[in-house]
Amino acid sequence: MSDLTSDLALHGGISFNRIGAMILRYWYLLLSSWPRLLELAYWPVLQVITWGFLQSYLAQNANFFARAGGTLIGAVILWDILFRGQLGFSISFLEEMWARNLGNLMMSPLKPIEFLIALMAMSLIRLAIGVIPMVGLALFLFHFNFFGLGLPLIAFFCNLIFTSWAVGIFVSGLVLRHGLGAESIVWTLMFALMPLACVYYPVHVLPLWLQYVSWSLPPTYVFEGMRALLIDHVFRADLMLSALVINAALLVACFAAFLALLRSARRHGSLLGGGE
């Protein structure tokens, strides 16, 4: 219990000044390089163009897709919220590893929970820079109004961003413990969820045993909810509630894993080097 208290460093509470300092640090970094800013929007824009044209082609040639207008392009945008949310979190963390700055931060009064909150805020900022042009392009080129999803969009967004933070916290812990040798996990772990989260197809397509695995992932509920909204014009609040409950458990588990990995990194001296 005392180990947990010291890792959380709850003494003195959370400082918004320190969280603000870390957000400012990443903001300075973003502004210091226009290619970094451009890259944030580059891949989302390419995604929406590719999948948007595919959706248009299918809609002209298949009755189902004509009826289910927007499911593909909607799925692409929601997937990008999930994926870019995690990347936005993890890349800000990796910046500290690349800069060999983690020792400075760990030796400062910054607490792990404040560090993670700053990374969450940065994931939202980076996501906004990437996804807003994507949403604008979907409206302009393919007449798909993402915001036309209405209030359910808030539930979709919150559930996806919570999952992305949980995954971000976990992989950051892995990199903390194992150094930059574990960096590839940051870029690839979310793709392992893609086939199971049923981004582009309904859950019933999967074999029955795999459906159980799929329903254990919060994004599955979001993508099923989106299809229910676009195809049947029904908002499934029950799905969103289930996703929220699983997300809460996932966030707690990933935060606990992060603290355990941080402790292990201190035990193994990984915070001194941070290299491979």
- Token pair of 157 as six digits: 């967004």
Helix/strand/coil for 32: coil
Whichever of 8 and 66 has its CB closer to other proteins, that residue is: 8
Residue numbers 161-180 binding other proteins by CB under 8 A: none
At closest approach, how far in Å is the CB of 11 from other proteins? 4
Site string for other proteins, 225-264 (x = CB under 8 A): --------------------------------------x-
User: Applying CB under 8 A, does 24 fall inside the site for other proteins?
Assistant: yes
Dihedral angle of Cα 33, 191, 82, 75, to the nearest 10 degrees: 110
Which residues does 165 contact at the CB level (< 8 Å), separation at least 6? Answer: 85, 86, 89, 120, 123, 251
What is the crossing angle of helices 112-142 and 237-268, to 10°? 140
Which residues inside 45-84 make contact with other proteins, applying CB under 8 A?
Answer: none
- Does 34 help bind other proteins (rule: CB under 8 A)? no
Least distance to other proteins from the beta carbon of 150, Å?
40
Distance CA(113)–CA(93), nearest Å, equals 13
Among 1, 28, 34, 191, binds other proteins (CB under 8 A): 28
Q: Which is nearer to other proteins, 23 or 243 (CB)?
A: 23
Q: 3-class SS at 98? A: helix
Residue 148 CB burial class (10 angstroms; 0-12, 13-18, ≥19): exposed
Residue 166, both tokens: 């949980």
- Residue 190 beta carbon to other proteins: minimum distance, rounded to whole angstroms: 26
Per-position x/- string for 111-130, each x denoting binding to other proteins as judged by CB under 8 A, each - no binding = x-------------------
Q: Residues in contact with other proteins, total (CB under 8 A)?
A: 41
- 207 alpha carbon, distance to own chain's centre: 27
CB-CB neighbours of 172 under 10 Å: 27
Q: Is 110 in the site for other proteins (CB under 8 A)?
A: yes
The residues that touch other proteins, with contacts defined as CB under 8 A, are 2, 5-6, 9-12, 15, 17-18, 20-22, 24-25, 28-29, 32-33, 95, 99-111, 263, 266-269, 271-273
